Amino acid sequence: MIEPPASVSGRRSIKFWVGTVGYDGFASNVLGSSSHALHQLMTVVDAADPPLRMPFGSDTVRRIETKNAFVAEELARWRDLAVSTGAKV
C-alpha cells in the first residue's frame, strides 16, 4: 500500500493522490469508484457468512463465469479418465 509522505496529513493528503490510479475524489455513490467499492467491501466484511472470494465489477464476474464454464466443460470431457485414477468413494 502506498502511503503519502509523513509530512502530508489530514485533508491536504488528498492532493497527494490526485492524478493517481484509483483516485476518484469523494464520489462514493458512483459505480467504479474506490469509495463505492469500499462501502461494498464493508458489506462483505460485516456479513454473517462472507464469501471466500468477492469479485467486484461486472467485468470481473464475467471473466470468472467464462473461466468456470471452460473448466466445467474441460472436466466433463476428461472426467472418466480423472476419476479412474483415484479410489472409489
Cell numbers linked to 67 = 473461466
Q: How far apart are CA 83 and CA 14, in angstroms?
A: 56
pLDDT value of position 14: 55
pLDDT digits 0-9 by tens, 26-63: 455 555 667 777 888 889 999 999 999 999 888 999 99
The pLDDT score that the predictor gives to residue 10 is 46
Degrees, nearest 5: CA angle 1-43-71: 80
- Predicted TM-score of the model (pTM): 0.56
C-alpha radius of gyration, the chain, whole number: 21
Q: What is the mean pLDDT of the chain?
A: 76
Closest CA to 60 of 24, 32, 23, 25: 32
Cell of 60: 470481473
Range of 41-50, 68-77, 80-89 with top mean pLDDT:
68-77
